Amino acid sequence: MSRETWTAVDRYFSDLLLPNDPILDAALQDNAAAGLPSIDVAPNQGKLLNLLATIQGARTILEIGTLGGYSTIWLARALPEGGRLITLESNPKHAEVARKNIERAGLDHVVEIRLGQALDSLAQLDAEGHGPFDLFFIDADKQSNSEYFQWALNHSRKGSLIITDNVVRNGNVVDESSTDPSVEGVRRFTELVAAEPRVSATALQTVGSKGYDGFAIAVVTEEK
Ligand code: SAH
Ligand code: DHB
Ligand code: MG
């Protein structure tokens, strides 16, 4: 099986199940025009994030890694009236493109973009007393996944969902001798999740238009 087949299958399901969406299409176009890397979640993965947030009844979402706001829009659309999403991004150009995409989606009153290194922004959110959040989407620099997960757990409630993107990395996650900081980061993160008694977790491999990768999903099962 090849990426061509995976892409055709993604297209088959997306054409049928994901209604034509000029706002998300425009976001991807503007990302490309601004030279952003095309590493947003795929459309059917964005819809999965949206469904998970809906199933969970999330009212507060924290996203780490905004890029052009594509996953942000999918997630924010699942929020009920009064819901809020905070998204963290270190690259000012990415944040600027995201701001316009989110505004076009009519979600600027729902979404707050915080510019800066995510670890600094998280410390700031903590100082401001934010949390608990109902859902986290961790999708920034993979070497910091453990720190992001730990922060999420510390700012969760029983039932919060912690979703982490890109945990398979083309299969490289099983390469114990890899010195790629992203792979090391994902392995450290997975071991941390495995050792954490307060969550119940799984991870899934995915193939599709974005290649071969995967998600980890953890549910917080106990109050702090
Ligand atoms: N969630 C997006 C994709 C995010 S790509 C989507 O699916 O649409 C990862 C993003 O994380 C990039 O925009 C990158 O600039 C940002 N990033 C990387 N390291 C970061 C850090 N330390 N703090 C904040 N953002 C970071
Ligand atoms: C990369 C980051 C992502 O968030 C993603 O979905 C795919 C690739 C990357 O840094 O290579
Ligand atoms: Mg990702």
19 CA to centre of ligand 3 in angstroms: 23
Domains and CATH numbers, the chain: 3-220 (3.40.50.150)
55 CA to centre of ligand 1 in angstroms: 25
Asked if residue 165 has its Cβ within 6 Å of ligand 2, the reply is yes
Least Cα distance to 98 among 160, 28, 2 occurs for 28
Provide mean pLDDT across the span 195-223.
96
pLDDT over 70 for what percent of the chain?
100
Shortest-distance Cα residue to atom 3 of ligand 1: 40
Sequence-separated (6 or more) residues with CB below 8 Å from residue 15: none
Question: Residue 65 class from Cβ within 10 Å (0-12 exposed, 13-18 middle, 19+ buried)?
Answer: buried
Asked whether the predicted pLDDT for residue 223 surpasses 90, the reply is: no
Q: What pLDDT, on a 0 to 100 scale, did the predictor assign at position 224?
A: 74
Asked if residue 139 has its Cβ within 6 Å of ligand 2, the reply is yes
| Residue-wise pLDDT tens digits, 77-95 | 999 999 999 999 999 999 9
Atom of ligand 2 nearest to the CA of 65: 4
Q: What pLDDT, on a 0 to 100 scale, did the predictor assign at position 1?
A: 72
Q: What pLDDT, on a 0 to 100 scale, did the predictor assign at position 121?
A: 98
Shortest-distance Cα residue to atom 6 of ligand 2: 39
The answer to whether 63 and 40 have CB atoms below 8 angstroms apart is no
Asked if residue 31 has its Cβ within 6 Å of ligand 1, the reply is no
Asked if residue 39 has its Cβ within 6 Å of ligand 2, the reply is yes
- Band of pLDDT at residue 26, cut at 50, 70 and 90: very high
